């Protein structure tokens, strides 16, 4: 579950966050649009134990945002999935999914980054210096186009698209999936 909330005393909330010793990970995220905050179940438990006062605005099913891990190294983010979903919803409550693309992989997605840069974000795993690149999606069609372009042929990607909320609207003439991967040298 993801919780949208408003702290009654923002300074007290931040003091509590700073008082939690490592390695416990505590992070809440504020929407730059509404000013409301988002937190995951683990952070809510900590706030409740520490008696942080807040007004609960909404409980959001964490399954409303689906994640796909495109690279095996990105599974390091999995233990923080609920917290990342809180970040995603704070960034845009309209997001339906996000794909974790990899570590320091911006070059491979440079054209899309130039056009859709606001849909990308970086996530640092606590106590790790790896910078994971993520991309947000707001419709099933958008996700299918992106995944078809970069990950065509991956059955797991097709399955993930099928699990996203909404329906696919194929363009006139059908869907053409392009594979944007270079062939290894020596392959013909």
What are the pLDDT digits (tens) for 23-60? 899 999 999 899 999 999 999 999 999 999 999 999 99
**Which range marks the domain in which residue 102 is found?**
65-138
Name residue, tokens 């917290």: 83
pLDDT tens, residue by residue, 60-90: 999 999 999 988 878 888 889 999 999 999 9
The verdict on residue 182 lying in a domain is: no
Asked if residue 76 and residue 44 are part of one domain, the reply reads no
Which tokens hold the place of 155?
């059955």
SS3 48: helix
Same structural domain for residues 69 and 122? yes
User: Lowest-pLDDT range, 57-61, 121-125, 126-130?
Assistant: 126-130
As a whole number of angstroms, the distance between CA 56 and CA 46 comes to 15
Sheet holding 2-7, edge to edge: 29-30, 37-40, 2-7, 54-60
Q: Is residue 156 part of a domain?
A: no
Number of domains in the chain: 2
Q: Which of 80-94, 125-139, 173-187 has the lowest mean pLDDT?
A: 173-187
| Plot region of 99 (φ>0 → left; ψ -120 to 50 → alpha; else → beta) | beta
Rounded to 10 degrees, the C-alpha dihedral 136/124/34/11 comes to 170
Residue 127 located in a structural domain: yes
């Amino acid at each position: 579950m993801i919780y949208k909330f408003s702290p009654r005393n923002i300074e007290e909330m931040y003091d509590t966050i700073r008082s939690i010793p490592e390695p416990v990970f505590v992070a809440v995220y504020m929407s730059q649009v509404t000013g409301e905050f988002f937190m995951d179940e683990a952070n809510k438990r900590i706030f409740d134990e520490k008696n942080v006062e807040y007004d609960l605005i909404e409980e959001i099913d964490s399954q409303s945002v689906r994640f796909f891990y495109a690279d095996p190294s990105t599974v390091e983010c999995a233990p923080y999935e609920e917290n990342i979903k809180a970040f995603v919803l704070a960034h845009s409550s309209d997001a339906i999914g996000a794909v974790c693309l990899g570590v320091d992989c911006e070059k491979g997605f440079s054209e899309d980054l130039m056009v859709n840069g606001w849909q990308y974000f970086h996530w640092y795993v606590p106590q790790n210096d790896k910078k994971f690149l993520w991309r947000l999606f707001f419709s099933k069609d958008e996700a299918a186009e992106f995944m078809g372009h970069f990950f065509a042929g991956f059955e797991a990607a097709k399955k993930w698209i099928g699990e996203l909320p909404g329906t696919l609207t194929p363009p006139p003439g059908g869907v053409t999936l392009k594979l944007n991967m270079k062939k290894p040298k020596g392959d013909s």
